[in-house]
Chain A
Amino acid sequence: MAQIDSHAIGLTRRRWLGLVATAVGTFVRAMPVQSQSLPQRCAPPIPQNREPSNGGSCPYPIPWLDKNGNHNQPAGPNVELSNIYHFKGKLARCSGFHGIGEDNQGNREAWGTPTTDYSYMAGEYWAARQAHQGVFAHT
Chain B
Amino acid sequence: MGGLTFSSDGKTATLQMTNVPIIDQPRWPAMDAETTPAFLDFKLVFTSTDESVKYEDPMRQYRFEGFKAIAKLEASVRVPSINFAFKTDPLETSKCDFAVMGEEVNGKYYEPGKN
Inter-chain contact B42/A92, CB cutoff 8 Å: no
Contact flags B9-44 to A (C-beta < 8 A → 1, else 0): 110010101001111010011000000000010101
* Number of chain B residues whose Cβ lies closer than 8 Å to a Cβ of chain A: 58
Give the docked Cα–Cα distance between A60 and B96 (Å): 28
| B109 and A81 contacting across the interface, CB-CB below 8 Å | no
Q: Is the CB of B106 within 8 A of A80?
A: yes
Among A21, A97, A126, find the residue whose CB has the most chain B CB atoms closer than 10 A.
Answer: A97
Interface of B is mostly: strand
Q: CB of A37 within 8 A of chain B? A: yes
State the interface size on chain A (CB cutoff 8 A): 61
Q: Is A104 an interface residue (CB 8 A)?
A: yes
Quick check: A87 and B97 within 8 Å, CB to CB?
Answer: no
Chain B residues with Cβ under 8 A from A36's Cβ?
1-2
In the complex, chain A residues whose CB is within 8 Å of the CB of B84: 103-104
B-chain residues with CB within 8 Å of residue A111 when the two chains form the complex: 86, 88
Residue among B10, B100, B105 making CB contact with A87, cutoff 8 Å: B105
- Chain A residues, Cβ within 8 Å of B3: 19, 21, 32-35
Which residues of chain A are near B62, meaning CB under 8 Å?
A: 80, 82
Which residues of the partner chain B approach A87 to less than 8 Å between Cβ atoms? 104-107, 109
**Which of the residues A37, A82, A99, A109 comes within 8 Å of B2, measured between beta carbons?**
A37
Cβ–Cβ < 8 Å partners of B28 in chain A: 12-13
Which A residues have a C-beta under 8 Å from some C-beta of B? 12-13, 15, 17, 19, 21, 29-37, 60, 62, 64, 75-82, 84-104, 109, 111-112, 114, 118, 120-124, 126, 135, 137, 139
- Of all A-B residue pairs in the complex, the 4 with the closest CB atoms, nearest first, are A96-B97, A86-B107, A92-B101, A94-B99
16 A-B residue pairs with CB within 8 Å: A30-B7, A34-B3, A37-B2, A75-B98, A79-B55, A80-B106, A88-B106, A94-B69, A95-B97, A96-B96, A98-B94, A99-B73, A99-B89, A120-B44, A121-B104, A139-B20
